[in-house]
Chain A
Amino acid sequence: MANSKINISLLKKLETLKLNSNFILNKGYSGSRKSKAKGSSIEFSDYREYVPGDDFRKIDWNAYGRFQKLFVKLFMEEREASINIFLDTSKSMAFGSPKKSYIALNLSMVFAYLSLANLDRINLYTINNGKLDNTGYLKGKNMTSRVINFLEKVKFESREDMLNLIPENQYKQGISIIISDLFSDNFEEVIKYLSYLKQNIIVLQILSKEELNPTIRGDVKLIDSETENEIDISGSNSILKAYEKNLNKFLNNINEICKKYGCYYTFLSNETPLEKIIFDSLIKAGILR
Chain B
Amino acid sequence: MNFYSPISFLFLLGIIPIILMYLLKKKHERIEISSTYLWKKAIKDMEANTPWQKLKKNLLLLLQILIFTLIVLALTEPYIISESMNVENLIIVLDKSTSMQSTDIKESRFNMAKEEIEKIVDNLRKESYVTLITMGNKPEILLNKGNDKGLIRKKLRNIQVGNSSDNIEDTLSLIRAMTKGMKNYRVIFYTDKGIEEELKNITVKNIKKDKSQNIAIEKLTHAVDNGKMSVLITVTNYSNLEKTGDLTLYVDNEIYDVKEVTIKGKNSRNIYFDVPSNSGLLEAEIDINDDLKIDNKRYHVIKNTLYKKVLLTTKGNLFLEKAISLNNNVELYKSNKILEDIRGYDLYVYDGMIPDKLPLDGNIVIFDPPKNNGIINVKGKVMEGELKIKEDELFNYVDMDFASRGMKVFETPKWGVPILLLNDYPVMVKGMKDKQKFIIAGFDLHETDFPLKTDFPIFISNILDYTLNIKGQENIKIFSGEEINIEILPKTEIAYVITPSGLKKKIAPPFPVAPYTDTNETGIYKIIQESASGDIISYFATNINTKQESNINFEYTLKGTTTELGDNKGEVYSSLQSLFIWLALIFLALEWVVYNRGY
A residues lining the B interface (CB < 8 Å): 91-96, 100, 181, 183-184, 208, 210-211, 216-227, 229-239, 242-243, 245-247, 249-250
Known: A227-B36, A250-B41. 13 other contacts (CB 8 A): A91-B34, A95-B34, A208-B34, A211-B38, A222-B31, A222-B33, A223-B31, A223-B33, A232-B57, A234-B56, A242-B45, A243-B42, A250-B38
Q: Are A219 and B26 in contact (CB under 8 A)?
A: yes
A246 and B57 alpha carbons, distance in the complex (Å): 19
Q: How far is the CA of A237 from the CA of B599 in the complex (A)?
A: 6
Q: Are B29 and A219 in contact (CB under 8 A)?
A: yes
Whole-angstrom distance between the alpha carbons of A257 and B270 in the complex?
Answer: 112
Known A232-B57, A235-B598, A237-B599; judge A220-B38 contact (CB<8 A).
no
- Given A236-B598, A239-B42, A242-B43, the answer on whether A225 and B29 have CB atoms closer than 8 Å is no
Instruction: Give complex CA distance A92, B35 in Å.
Output: 6
B38 touches A224 (CB 8 A): no
Report the bound CA distance from A192 to B440 in whole Å. Answer: 150
Residues of A within 8 A of B556 (CB): none
Residues of chain A lying within 8 A (CB to CB) of residue B39: 222, 231, 233, 243
Complex contact A211–B34 (CB within 8 A): yes
Q: Assess the A231–B599 pair: CB atoms within 8 A.
A: no
| Interface residues of B, count at CB 8 A | 26
Chain B residues near A91 (CB, 8 Å)?
34
Shortest distance in angstroms between A75's beta carbon and chain B's nearest beta carbon? 49
Q: Does B28 interact with chain A (Cβ within 8 Å)?
A: yes
Name B38's contact: one of A93, A227, A246 (CB within 8 Å): A246
Instruction: Please name 26 pairs of A and B residues whose Cβ atoms are closer than 8 Å in the assembled complex, sorted by A.
Output: A91-B34, A181-B34, A183-B34, A183-B37, A208-B34, A210-B34, A211-B34, A217-B598, A218-B29, A219-B29, A221-B31, A222-B31, A223-B31, A223-B33, A224-B37, A230-B30, A231-B40, A233-B28, A233-B39, A233-B43, A236-B56, A237-B597, A243-B38, A245-B45, A246-B45, A249-B41
* In the complex, B46 has a CB within 8 A of chain A: yes
| B29 & A220 in contact (Cβ 8 Å cutoff) | yes
Chain B residues whose C-beta falls within 8 Å of the C-beta of A216 in the assembled complex: 31
Give complex CA distance A187, B566 in Å: 79
Chain A nearest CB from B24 CB (Å) reads: 12
Contact call B599/A219, Cβ cutoff below 8 A: no
Q: Which of A211, A224, A235, A242 has the most CB of B within 10 A?
A: A242
Which residues of chain B in 41-79 are interfacial with respect to chain A, using CB atoms and an 8 Å cutoff?
41-43, 45-46, 49-50, 56-57
Enumerate chain A residues within 8 angstroms of B40, measured Cβ to Cβ: 229, 231
- Which residues of A are found within 8 Å of B29, using beta-carbon distances? 218-221
Write out the residue numbers on chain A whose beta carbons fall within 8 Å of the beta carbon of B57.
219, 232, 234
Q: A217-B598, A236-B598, A239-B46 are in contact. Are A225 and B34 (CB under 8 A)?
A: yes
Checking B35, B42, B43, B598 against A183 with a beta-carbon cut-off of 8 angstroms, the contacting residue is B35
> Across the A-B interface, how many residue pairs have beta carbons closer than 8 Å?
104
B residues with CB within 8 A of A:
26, 28-43, 45-46, 49-50, 56-57, 597-599
Most A CB within 10 A of own CB, among B36, B49, B597, B599: B36
Instruction: Output the nearest chain B residue to A224 by Cβ-Cβ distance.
Output: B36
> Is the Cβ of A239 less than 8 Å from the Cβ of B43?
yes
B43 contact set on A, CB distance < 8 A:
231, 233, 239, 242
Q: Which residues of A contact B34 (CB under 8 A)?
A: 91-96, 100, 181, 183, 208, 210-211, 225
Residues on B with beta carbons closer than 8 Å to the beta carbon of A236: 56, 598-599
- Complexed CA–CA distance, A250 and B35 (Å): 14
Contact A220 B28 (CB under 8 A): yes
Q: How far is the CA of A239 from the CA of B42 in the complex (A)?
A: 7
Q: Are B46 and A238 in contact (CB under 8 A)?
A: yes
Indicate the member of B26, B32, B37, B46 with the most A CB atoms within 10 Å: B37
Q: Bound complex: CA of A100 vs CA of B29, how far in Å? A: 24
In the complex the two chains form, is B36's CB within 8 Å of A231's CB?
A: yes
CA of A234 to CA of B45, assembled, Å:
15
**Residues of the B chain whose Cβ atoms lie less than 8 Å from the Cβ of A224:** 33, 35-37
Query: Please, which residues of chain B bring their CB within 8 A of the CB of A247?
Result: 38
Judge whether A232 and B38 touch: CB under 8 Å: no
A216 to B598, CA, bound (A): 11
Known: A224-B35, A243-B38. Is A238-B28 also a contact (CB below 8 A)?
Answer: no
User: Which of A95, A96, A224, A247 neighbours the largest number of chain B CB atoms within 10 Å of its CB?
Assistant: A224
Q: Which residue on B lies nearest to A95, using beta carbons?
A: B34
Residues of A within 8 A of B26 (CB): 219
List the 8 shortest-distance A-B pairs measured between CB atoms, nearest first. Answer: A221-B28, A92-B34, A95-B34, A183-B37, A242-B42, A224-B36, A243-B42, A183-B35
A225 touches B38 (CB 8 A): no
Tell whether A221 pairs with B38 under 8 Å between CB atoms, given A236-B599, A242-B45.
Answer: no
